[in-house]
Structure 1
Amino acid sequence: MQFKEIVGQEAVKQRLLNTVSDNRVSHAQLFLGPEGSGSLALAVAYAQYLSCEDKQPGDSCGVCSSCRKYQKLAHPDLHFSYPFFAKHKDDTALTFIEQWRDALLANPYISLDTWRGYLDAENKQANINIAECHQIIKKLSFKPFESEYKILILWLPEYLDKEGNSLLKIIEEPQPNTLFLLVAQNQDQILNTILSRTQLVKIPGLTYDEIKDHLLAAHHQTEEAAAEIAYLSNGNMTEALAMLQQDNKSYHELFVQWLRYCFGNKGIEVMAFVDQFAKMGRENQKNFLRYGVSFVRECCLLLAGAGNLVHLPAKELDTAQKMSNVLTIDNAQSIITELEKAHYHVERNANPKILFLDVSLQIIRVLITRNVPAGNQYMPN
């Protein structure tokens, strides 16, 4: 993995490069970024750069012996630790290393759900167990084999329970030229004893333009499809790539037509839409509801006089401006609440026909009777 293969994050890349050129490489670093930001890919690219035999000014060379091994995630001085679904108490990350390499090479923006799909997870909970902690200590007790550094990339340290305290000594007093790169999404869920021993590298979510441009250039999407996916993914490349696999990626017309039927209280047409929603499949249902939440929020910005903050394609902006003439902030907020509740229940396998009929009736109530449930009223400062 090279820096040039990672979408955006130019400031973070430069900071990492500077640590090497200035000889300020910290032995324990925490790459903290939201899902889909590329934090794991950045950690791998950084490790490859540190081990590269012919470093270039802005990236690893990509052709030396070390880089070729990194491209296969098979360098002897590169080690990974990650949550897994243990079948036996002695299972460690090495038990699943082939699946891990396949998963990460296929998608450097891997999520825990994607990783679960590579394993026979059943209903087990993911964790990093005590056997894995002992394995980490053992692996990192030796000197580097080929490169200047021996590097451990620990993905999602949030899944280290109290057993993670067994790693404190080796994190605080590692062997010379041993690096820990922790890649996390939620700082609050990391053991404080580990957190206090790392140097923080903050990684922001990707921008709308970064995701859109990537979809256009690397995945040959149309301008309209790339814009909609970039808007819907909200800075999460993992979500954007997952949406590429869905059959139906255009939700705008469907969502607006549904609201029109609800506003007109057209029962037959609403029921036809409910039947259509029920056949969409769970991922498309979730994406549709997520789109609806985002779109109505943009309408709220227009209603609040913050049009300069609205980020919609021209066609959708025109629709949002028209809708803002019939919506209020209160009933728009109520619609958002109903859509978010529906998304929650879709994730938990609710009956889609019953669910979408209920949310349709709730939206009709909000739009026709202007009956805003308590707690959803807009309270200006």
Structure 2
Amino acid sequence: MKFSAVIGQEPTKHRLCRMVAEDRLPHAIMLCGPMGCGKMALALAFASYLLGERDEQGNSILSDEAKVRNSEAMLRRWEHPDLHFSFPVIRPAGTSSEHKMVSDDYMKEWHGLLQDGPYFSMDEWLRRMVAANQQAIIGAGESDELIRKLSLKSYQGGYKVCVIWLPERMNQECANKLLKLLEEPSRQTMFIMVCEEPEHILETIRSRVQRIDVGRLSTDEIRRALIEQRGLGDADAKRTARLADGNWLKALETLDAANENRAFLDMFIMLMRLAYTRNIKDLKKWSEVIAGYGREKQRRMLTYFMVMVRENFIYNFHNPELNYMTAEEEDFSKNFARFINEANVVEIAELMDMARADIGQNANAKIVFFDLALQMIVLLIRK
């Protein structure tokens, strides 16, 4: 995968290539940034470059033409023996509690995900693994596998590259073992971490990697990509790019007619209307329906609710440049926004954030969502 396949992020591309050209490449880097900015795409392009794939000018860091062709053939399937992946997984069906989960348990699904493109989310990965209520983690067994794999001799005599996706999902035991790897890396081993929440990673690990912050994509970069890759007209591309707010994945979701956010909007509208009318019986039914969702979906829905609370509060300022809503969301907010005001916006946001945290800690979903619904009755009447 070449850097030209990465949307925008030109300064980061040049920085990575310059580190190699000037022989200043550290043994570990951490690409940090928000979802949809292209961190994983950058990691894959950089890994391909380090393993010998030609750049846009036809140059490769490998001098042997046969090795270059061989490397490119293997990288097209993401099955290069010097390229190792580590990522969050769930416990495979049918395995005992003694089984130590490792990335290799789902390597076939992972390769399929990468073949479909370098832009994806945890939600998409969970669907690939057919996860229900499980939360994906990187466990202790993974660090043992990495130690074994990285101790092997390089297949082509060059770099061995380990791409770790979402290292913030490592458990404590795995993180401690990874720390030892980072402290004493084998020769020409390169770690590329792709991270969204670096504050959740051990400070000792963060201090041993070179952090590279990857910013949100510009509206114009997304607009151009939508025109070139999706065939949108300029007007539609502009609106979609603005709604995306620097997130390529969000831009793609906006184009999706079966967008999950539309279902979340229906549930948000139902919650607010039932809370306003104090319909406790139907609020209980609402909470039971939501409790039937998987935990990851519940967390996504609460994140969406928090965004809608923010958008409705900002809507009261009557400045369209500050709002980022679809036509359907704005249609509802025209009449509802006045109920989200200075008297309740902070408490509503905190209530939803707490519910999201509770769900993440495996609290009873029926109790969490019914409690949220009941408290919403009180908060909505504040003025």
The answer, yes or no, to whether TM exceeds 0.5 is: yes
Correspondence 1:181 to 2:192: yes
Is the aligned partner of 1:69 residue 2:74?
Answer: yes
Equivalent residue letter for 1:156: L
Code of the residue aligned with 2:20 in structure 1: it is V
User: Paired residue for 1:89, among 70, 82, 99?
Assistant: 99
RMSD: 5.1
Match of 1:378 in 2: none
Distance in 2 (alpha carbons) for counterparts of 1:115 and 1:257: 29
Alpha-carbon distance in structure 1 between the residues aligned to 2:16 and 2:214: 11
1:19 aligns with 2:19: yes
Equivalenced residue count is: 364
In structure 2, do the counterparts of structure 1 residues 70 and 229 end up closer, same or farther at CA, with 3 Å as the change threshold?
same
CA distance in structure 1 between the aligned counterparts of 2:11 and 2:219, rounded to whole angstroms: 17
Larger Rg computed on CA atoms: 1
Q: Which stretch shows the higher mean deviation, 187-196 or 316-325?
A: 316-325
Deviation at 1:44, TM superposition (A): 0.9
Task: Look up the match of 1:379.
Answer: none
Unaligned runs of 5+ in 2: 62-67
Instruction: State yes or no: 1:156 paired with 2:172.
Output: no
The equivalent residue for 1:36 is 36
Call closer, same or farther: CA 1:213–1:58 in 2, change over 3 Å.
farther
What amino acid does structure 1 have at the position aligned with 2:77? Answer: K
The residue aligned with 2:343 is 330
SS in 1 for 2:138: coil
**1:312–1:176: structure 2 CA closer, same or farther, 3 Å change rule?**
same
Are the aligned partners of 1:77 and 1:147 in contact in 2 as well (CA < 8 Å)?
Answer: no
Q: 1:255 to 1:80 in 2, by over 3 A?
A: closer
Offset of residue 48 of structure 1: 0.8
1:109 matched residue in structure 2: 119
TM-superposition CA deviations, 1:346-365 (whole Å, max 9, x none): 998967xxx79x96x98887
Q: Report the alpha carbon displacement of residue 245 of structure 1 after superposing the two structures with TM.
A: 6.0
How far the C-alpha of 1:25 sits from its partner, in A, is: 1.3
Cα 1:4–1:312 shift into 2, 3 Å: same
* TM-score, normalised relative to structure 1: 0.69
CA deviation vs aligned residue, 1:125-148 (integer Å, no higher than 9, x gap) = 53332x332321222223321263
1:81 counterpart letter in structure 2? S
Check 1:334–1:58 CA distance in 2 against 1; reply closer, same or farther (3 A cut).
Answer: farther
2-side partners of 1:326 and 1:167: how far apart?
A: 49
Rounded to whole Å, the distance in 2 between the matches of 1:83 and 1:325 is 42
The 1:160/1:213 distance shift into structure 2, 3 A limit, reads farther
Corresponding residue number in structure 2 for 1:227: 239
Identity %: 30
Of 306-315 and 148-157, more deviation after overlay is shown by 306-315
Question: Which amino acid is 1:154 matched to?
Answer: I
Counterpart selection for 1:79 from 80, 84, 102: 84
* 2:64 corresponds to: none
Q: Which runs of 5+ in 1 are unaligned?
A: 372-381
Work out the CA distance in 1 between the residues paired with 2:130 and 2:339. 50
1:107-146 superposed matches below 5 A: 107-119=117-129, 121=131, 123=134, 126-129=137-140, 131-146=141-156
Q: C-alpha distance in 1, partners of 2:128/2:29?
A: 28
Give the CA deviation at 1:194: 2.4
Tell me, what secondary structure is at the counterpart of 2:155?
Answer: coil
Could you say if the C-alpha distance between residues 303 and 161 of structure 1 is closer, same or farther in structure 2, counting changes exceeding 3 Å?
same
CA distance 1:210–1:258, change in 2 (3 Å): farther
Map Cα deviations across residues 180-199 of structure 1 (whole Å, 9 max, x no partner). Answer: 11222222222333222211
Deviation at 1:259, TM superposition (A): 12
1:1-381 paired onto structure 2 within 5 Å: 1-56=1-56, 64-86=69-91, 87=95, 89=99, 92-119=102-129, 121=131, 123=134, 126-129=137-140, 131-146=141-156, 148-158=158-168, 159-220=170-231, 223=235, 227=239, 231=243, 234-242=245-253, 244=256, 246=258, 293-294=306-307, 297-298=310-311, 300-301=313-314, 309=322, 328-330=341-343, 370-371=382-383
